[in-house]
Structure 1
Amino acid sequence: NFLPWDTKLILFNLTQPLFLITFFFCSQVADYIPQLAKFSPDLWAVSLCTVDGQRHTVGDTKVPFCLQSCVKPLKYAIAVHDHGTEYVHQFIGKEPSGLRFNKLFLNEDEYLCLLFLSCVLKQGAGNAEKFDYVLNFLKKMAGNEYVGFSNATFQSERESGDRNFAIGYYLKEKKCFPTGTDMTAVLDLYFQLCSIEVTCESASVMAATLANGGFCPITGERVLSPEAVRDTLSLMHSCGMYDFSGQFAFHVGLPAKSGVAGGILLVVPNVMGIMCWSPSLDKLGNSVRGIQFCTDLVSLFNFHNYDNLRHFTKKHDPRREGGDQRYTFGPLDYESLQKELALKDTVWTKVSPTECNEDSSTTVVYRMENVGDGN
């Protein structure tokens, strides 16, 4: 399967200028994890996968990188899939904190969420079994494409994770962990899961699985329950972009999750999943190129959650047949239309005139011209 050439051209035109932009004055590669600081700030890649398995990639899409915080919604989805929403949210909240992601604060739902989820995944199992369980689950979401592990990043993050340990001990002192929990083992698993490696191509399939209601578009396998997907996308929409979540929800209007390795996992529900990756970060820890791409994407396509799909004529809609053209019912005043055409018992059928084998006296076909012609 291939995307329409005009859609590919638009995506190409979106990504190319971002290769040439130097973010010297406003961004830098994450340096508090030494292994991440080794990536070039010039790396830039975008990969997408639609819910029917169509693919498109631009840039350094085969370079492996760590999920970091992009693993958080995936862990949450697995926990809800296994235990249900009601059980999971006995321990974690739904509101964005409005605080920095590493703030030492009791209501730090994001950290508490990750540490708690590390406890409930494969309850009773050791870290090795839990890690294998999550890794195999993510491979299913990725359609068995590349999902690996960076031991160097794990060791680097573990050695420089004093603040994470401080948060862990603080939560332990406040009795936020289930009874009998080994806090250091939980943090080890947290570091391991953040160090899971993907490429833009494999991560875009994970995003597409979320866009497709839990079915992997490559294998056709149901990986996640509808409940898990719905709740995951809801939290990604409200909490997924650190302190920028409100701005992102307003301007882009799509569920997404960023990570300090430079990835942005973007989901267009019922349409496609996208992974953007560039290690150059803004002051809030989001990929500068990735944010710009997502903003430009919804300025050209009507993917914003609140865009009107029928009357927003200034944007492209690749969901329509033939790009911006489609066959549709209309006008809606059936009685006046029948009088005008002197027809009775009209059959309203969505059908192309070139493919119509039915009696034209009983089938009325309407075509909406290219929406761009009206501008």
Structure 2
Amino acid sequence: MAAQTPSTWLTSLVFPSLEVMKTPQPHVGPQHPPLANGLVNGALRHENQENGLPNGLLNGHDPNLQNNEVGDPARNIPFSFPPLVPAVTPATLEPTIAIRPEDSKNLENCMIKHDPTHGQDRKNALREVYSADSNRATESRRIRYLSQSEDTHEYLFGVPEPLEAMMEVREKGEDEEMELMSKKLGDLSTIISENLEIVVKAFSSSFVIPDFRGFCHHIDEIYNNCKGNTDGKIASYIPQLERMRADNWAVSVCTVDGQRYSLGDVNTPFTLQSCSKPLTYAMAVGLYGTQHVHNYMGMEPSGRYFNELCLDFNHKPHNPMINAGAIMTAALLKPELSAADRFDYVFHMYKRLAGGEYLGFNNGVFLSERECADRNFALAYFMRENKCFPPNTKLHETLDFYFQLCSLEITAEAGAVMAATLANGGINPLTGDPVLTVEAVRNTLTLMHSCGMYNYSGQFAFKVGLPSKSGVSGCVLLVVPNTMGICLWSPPLDSNGNSCRGVQFCMELVSRFTFHNFDNLRNHITTKTDPRMAKAESRAQILFDLLFSAAAGDLSALRRHSLSGTNMEAKDYDGRTALHVATSEGHIEIVEYLLKNCQVNPLPKDRWNRTPLDDARCFGYPRCGELIMDMCKKKGIEIPPPVADDPMKE
């Protein structure tokens, strides 16, 4: 064993459980140098063993060594020191050292023997702070006493304030843990303060889809229903697209306040193809305005195939959602820039639309598409022949730019954020970035609604009633304005060039939820649910509609309520039912329908214990009263006598 320094025997004096301190060595010199790391390591070693913490530098430690006495050969003072114990509690956060009375006695004797003048005073002080029944406050005074009694430290340990150093290092692990926790709490506070609106919405169920978990359950069911659809064929006129797998199927949802849900192959990239058309059009309208853009293209559905060689009666492309119109949009967008700068500009805009989600460029698809672009070249020359393009348009450069736009690569999650940006009026719901103008988004959604699904656009608008755009890669961007964007991707296409699974998903979605543009008509009662409405709000709205229909004498509305399963005996906060309201207004047909067809209770009581019969008598509608009494007789219900001194008569 190597010779021990003065600091070594000192550590042995205070922490005899250290392996290196078992053999005392002669004391050299009148003063002791600062405490060695062994002191603190020993303290932490014993404490860690007691508490199951990581040992650190604890090799060779014997956890069974307790109450060891060693002799200091220089002073011949027997002394023992116990292990440290946990010192920080949530109640006080004060460090403590638990020292047994027998250990403190050795320390007292040591102090009196080597400092007769002041030793007795210190002994009395130690006797107070090391009492066996001391509480936590007294334990903390022990530390203060030892750390503040510099003379005692100087004499006993050879250095001033050694326990401060010991406690500082002893608490280092705890301080680091507290510091880490504090940092995490600070980060959390920063996140909350920067996103306070979202946090408030989350705790108050004020998101656009309050029951998002329940909504996602429906998405799961629709996804699985569509997964078994094996109809359609993958597009073959672009060789690179033909290599996609037919079983790829992805659904991603992003609401206007950032709620997200994804299923399937959402991380598999695919090219935008025609789904780039509405986004590029929105950029052009935002830059140059609606009037300028539509000087070069129309806004009518073509009724033709998307790549057909034809123009409208003004010798313009019919709309920007078909190939001719999309080529024209590419010609209008930043023509003053070089080809490289134009692509960089658009790529940056798409990055903003995607909100940091994946966006790439598929050069293989670009080259493949350019090689097979005879029809698009024919369309471009046909438009140039009819003087459709702006002056000085570079035809081949424009076509390359159009092919590049179609070859931009996204995932379903990126597509959902893009669609949600359109649903949110051009503001990205994840970043808050106003990427597109409200005017551009309004025009874009209008054209997507009427022209976005190729030759199926009219039927899709009729059955689904939502803006959408499909592409031959199998992508469908579906927009529920002010609510959410949905990206669907499945390569097999139907005869119209739309994703088979994508179209089926849209159909089933609208069959469950009131997302169709005209599902919100007044007095329109349906079995579909509105996920944008909280459950309590939905029930209250149905009750309001029911009572309003009874008050207005709207028999057809009441019939729709009855057929849709509404509780015709539902009560408002005053306990009033539809029968109360109809009787008070004297609507005989409504009263008869409720009693005979709906079989409601003829004598429900409101909070004033009034029945519909009381209302009929009070407001002078005897025919309504007769209907109620007849129903009571049929059901064997006792007819109550008239209410004396009815306050309603006054």
Look up the SS of the partner of 2:416 in the other structure: helix
Query: Structure 1 length as normaliser, TM-score?
Result: 0.85
Corresponding residue for residue 90 of structure 1 = 295
Question: Match of 2:481?
Answer: 269
Mapped partners of 1:8, 1:326: distance in 2: 21
Task: Determine the structure 1 residue equivalent to 2:377.
Answer: 165
Deviations 1:180-236 (A, max 9, x none): 111111100000000001100011000001001111100111111110010000000
Structure 1 residues 9 and 263: alpha-carbon distance in aligned structure 2, compared to 1, 3 A threshold: same
Q: Does 1:316 align with 2:521?
A: no
CA shift, 1:326, in A, is 5.5
Preserved contact between residue 171 and residue 177 of structure 1 (Cα < 8 Å):
yes
| Residue type of the alignment partner of 1:12 | D
1:170–1:313 CA distance, 2 compared to 1 (3 A)? closer
Matches within 5 A, 1:29-48: 29-48=234-253
1:106 Cα deviation (Å)?
Answer: 2.6
Name the structure 2 match of 1:226. 438
Q: Is the 8 A contact 1:317 1:323 kept in 2?
A: no
Shift of 1:3: 5.5
Larger radius of gyration: 2
Whole-angstrom distance in 2 between the partners of 1:130 and 1:56: 33
Alignment of 1:6 with 2:214, yes or no, is yes
AA at the equivalent of 1:66? T
Change (3 A) 1:296 1:323: farther
Deviation at residue 129 of structure 1 after TM alignment = 1.0
List aligned pairs for 1:56-135, cutoff 5 A: 56-107=261-312, 108-109=317-318, 110-135=322-347
Alignment match of 1:294 (pick from 501, 506, 510): 506
SS in 2 for 1:191: helix
1:118-167 Cα shifts (integer Å, max 9, x gaps): 12212300121111111111111111211111000000000111111111
Identity over aligned residues, as a percent?
Answer: 52
Q: Which residue of 1 aligns with 2:223?
A: 15
What is the alpha-carbon distance in structure 1 between the residues aligned to residue 333 and residue 408 of structure 2? 16
Give the superposition deviation at 1:59: 0.8
Partner of residue 214, structure 1: 426
CA–CA distance in structure 1, aligned partners of residues 211 and 407 of structure 2 = 32
Letter of the 1:68 counterpart: Q
In 2, Cα distance between equivalents of 1:287 and 1:11:
17
Q: CA deviation at 1:250?
A: 0.2
3-state SS, counterpart of residue 274 of structure 1: strand
Q: Which amino acid aligns with 1:7?
A: F
Contact 1:4 1:323 in 2 (8 A): no
Letter in 2 for 1:274: I
C-alpha distance in structure 2 between counterparts of 1:188 and 1:228, whole Å: 25
Asked if the contact 2:369–2:403 (Cα under 8 Å) also holds between the matched residues in 1, the reply is yes
- 2:460 corresponds in structure 1 to 248
Pairwise mapping of residues 196-211 of structure 1 onto structure 2 (< 5 A)?
196-211=408-423
SS in 1 for 2:239: coil
AA partner of residue 252 (structure 1): V
* Residue deviations 1:84-136 (CA, integer Å, cap 9, x gap): 11111111100011000111113343333212221221230012111111111
Counterpart residue identity of residue 17, structure 1: N
- Residues of 1 paired with 2:535 and 2:243: CA distance? 44
Call closer, same or farther: CA 1:19–1:126 in 2, change over 3 Å.
same
Q: 2:405 aligns with which of 178, 185, 193?
A: 193
**Contact preservation (8 Å) 1:318, 1:324:** no
Helix, strand or coil at the partner of 1:36:
helix
Query: Contact 1:80–1:228 at 8 Å: present in 2 too?
Result: yes
Q: CA RMSD in A?
A: 2.6
Native 8 Å contact 2:273 2:407 kept in 1: yes
Q: Which amino acid aligns with 2:230?
A: T
Cα distance in 1 between the residues matched to 2:531 and 2:574: 21
- Cα distance in 1 for partners of 2:287, 2:306 equals 26
| Structure 2 letter corresponding to 1:242 | Y
Name the aligned partner's letter for residue 251 of structure 1. Answer: K
1:29 Cα deviation after fit? 0.1
**Secondary structure of the equivalent of 2:251?**
strand
Relative distance call for 1:155 and 1:365 in structure 2 (3 A) is farther
2-side partners of 1:179 and 1:60: how far apart?
44
Distance of 1:279 and 1:323 partners within structure 2: 41
Long gaps (5+) in structure 2? 1-201, 203-209, 552-572, 576-597, 599-650
Q: Is the contact between residue 321 and residue 327 of structure 1 (CA under 8 Å) also seen in structure 2?
A: no
Amino acid across the alignment from 2:265: D
Contact 1:35 1:153 in 2 (8 A): yes
**Is 1:304 the counterpart of 2:549 in the alignment?**
no
Structure 1 residue 330 displacement after superposition: 4.3
Residues 351-370 of structure 1 mapped to structure 2, 5 A cutoff: none
Aligned length: 340
Amino acid at match of 1:207: A
More helix, by proportion: 2
In the other structure, the counterpart of 2:36 is none
CA separation of 1:183 and 1:323: change in aligned 2, threshold 3 A: farther
The answer to whether the 8 A contact 1:213-1:270 is kept is yes
1:344-373 Cα shifts (integer Å, max 9, x gaps): xxxxxxxxxxxxxxxxxxxx799xxxxxxx
2: CA distance, partners of 1:258 / 1:183? 26
Between structures 1 and 2, the one with greater strand share: 1
Give the 3 Å change call, closer, same or farther, for CA 312–56 of structure 1 in structure 2: farther
Structure number with the bigger relative contact order (C-alpha 8 A, sep ≥ 6) is 1
Give the match's secondary structure for 2:263: strand
Alignment-mate amino acid for residue 270 of structure 1: N
> Greater CA deviation, 286-295 or 6-15?
6-15
1:137 aligns with 2:342: no
Structure 1: how far apart are the matches of 2:417 and 2:399? 28
What does the per-residue CA deviation read over 1:244-270, in whole Å, with 9 as the maximum and x for residues that have no partner? 000000000000000000001000000
How much does 1:16 deviate?
Answer: 0.4
| Equivalent position of 2:117 in the other structure | none
User: What SS class does the counterpart of residue 138 from structure 1 fall into?
Assistant: helix
